[in-house]
């Protein structure tokens, strides 16, 4: 398909621009949808290679199979993005990096349970009884 070389180069530029748009946009949904439209355009460009006497029809079939796979992935991605929220939920946005899960700082809690003795009326598993009696 040597006649379509300039068109295919333009498609390459389109793919690069769409990739930049996907990575740079706050909402990549329209860019992914544009990829689906571009995939349809790619398939329409390759399909004429199956007509007439083309000694490389096997290459055209390989290209069509690859394009169909990429198109399917792009359609799945676009459908998933249409149902996804644009911003993360409040639960995701909370920053717990400085939290340990305890009310006080670790230094204030160290040694606080040294004098703890389990109640004598606690009945635990048989395997734990020697341990609790030895430490009580």
pLDDT digits (tens, 9 = 90+) for 29-40: 999 999 999 999
pLDDT 10s digits, 43-97: 999 998 888 888 889 999 999 999 999 999 999 999 988 877 766 555 555 666 7
The answer to whether position 131 is within a domain reads no
- DSSP codes of every residue in 55-113: TTHHHHHHHHHHHHHHHHHHHHHHHHHHTS-SS--HHHH---TT--SSSS-HHHHTTTT
Note down the domain range covering 50. Answer: 2-86
Q: Distance between CA atoms of 128 and 125, rounded to whole angstroms?
A: 5
- Say which range, 4-8, 36-40, 45-49, 115-119, has the weakest mean pLDDT: 115-119
Say if 52 falls within a structural domain. Answer: yes
Residue 22: which pLDDT band, with cuts at 50, 70 and 90? very high
Is 50 domain-assigned? yes
How many structural domains is the chain composed of?
1
Note the pTM of the prediction, 2 decimals: 0.59
> Is residue 28 one of the residues assigned to a domain?
yes
> Does residue 97 form part of some domain?
no
- Domain membership flag for residue 117: no
Residue 101 lies in a domain: no
Q: Flag whether 18 is in a domain.
A: yes
């Amino acid at each position: 398909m040597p006649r379509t070389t300039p068109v295919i180069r333009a498609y390459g530029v389109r793919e690069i621009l769409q990739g930049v748009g996907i990575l740079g946009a706050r909402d990549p949904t329209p860019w992914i949808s544009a990829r689906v439209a571009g995939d349809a355009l790619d398939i329409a460009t390759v399909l004429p290679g199956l007509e007439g006497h083309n000694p490389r029809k096997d290459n055209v079939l390989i290209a069509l199979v690859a394009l169909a796979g990429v198109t399917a992935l792009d359609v799945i991605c676009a459908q998933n993005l249409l149902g996804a929220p644009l911003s993360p939920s409040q639960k995701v946005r909370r920053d717990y990096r400085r939290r340990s899960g305890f009310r006080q700082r670790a230094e204030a809690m160290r040694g606080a349970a040294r004098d703890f003795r389990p109640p004598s009326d606690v009945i635990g598993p048989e395997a734990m009884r020697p341990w609790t009696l030895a430490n009580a």
